[in-house]
C-alpha cells in the first residue's frame, strides 16, 4: 500500500481527525501514551531531533553521534526534510516560531 492509499482509509482518516482535535501538549501526551509504545515515542522524538539538527546545519556524522540515530535514519530524515511531504519542515518552522515568541 502506498501513502495515498494509506491516507484514503477510513481508519487513518479518523486518526488524522483525532490528532488535529488535540489542543494542548497534555492532550497530545495522553494520546501518544495510549496509542504508542514508549519505544515508538522515543523514535518519533529522535527523528524530530535529527531533523532539527540537520536543519541547523550539523553534519550527518555529528547528528548521528549526538542523537544515537543510525546513518540510515539520518539519511532518511534528511531526504524527508528536503522534499517529501513537508511535515518536518512545517513542524520545525512552527515550533521555532513559538519558541522565539516565548523567549
| Cβ neighbours of residue 18 closer than 8 Å, sequence gap 6 or more | 31
Query: Following DSSP, what letter does each residue of 47-58 receive, concatenated?
Result: HHHHHHHHHTT-
Confidence grade of residue 1 (pLDDT, cut at 50, 70, 90): confident
CB atoms < 10 A from the CB of 19, how many?
A: 12
Going by pLDDT thresholds of 50, 70 and 90, the confidence category of residue 7 is: confident
The ranges assigned to domains in the chain are 1-35, 37-103
Contacts of 58 (CB under 8 A, 6+ apart): 66
Distances (CA, A) of 54 to 33, 63, 100: 27, 7, 19
| pLDDT-based confidence at residue 32 (cuts at 50, 70, 90) | very high
Averaged pLDDT score across all residues of the chain: 92
pLDDT, tens digit (0-9, with 9 covering 90-100), for 48-65: 999 999 999 999 999 999
Residues 14-24 have a mean pLDDT of 97
Say what the pTM is: 0.85
Fold of the 37-103 domain: 1.10.1270
Amino acid at each position: 500500500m502506498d501513502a495515498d492509499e494509506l491516507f484514503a482509509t477510513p481508519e487513518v482518516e479518523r486518526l488524522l481527525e483525532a490528532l488535529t482535535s488535540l489542543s494542548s501538549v497534555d492532550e497530545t501526551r495522553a494520546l501518544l501514551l495510549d496509542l504508542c509504545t514508549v519505544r515508538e515515542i522515543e523514535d518519533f522524538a529522535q527523528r524530530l531531533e535529527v531533523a532539527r539538527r540537520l536543519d541547523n546545519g550539523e553534519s550527518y556524522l555529528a547528528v548521528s553521534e549526538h542523537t544515537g540515530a543510525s546513518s540510515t535514519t539520518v539519511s532518511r530524515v534528511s531526504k524527508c526534510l528536503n522534499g517529501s511531504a513537508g511535515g518536518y519542515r512545517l513542524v520545525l518552522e512552527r515550533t521555532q516560531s513559538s519558541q522565539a515568541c516565548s523567549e
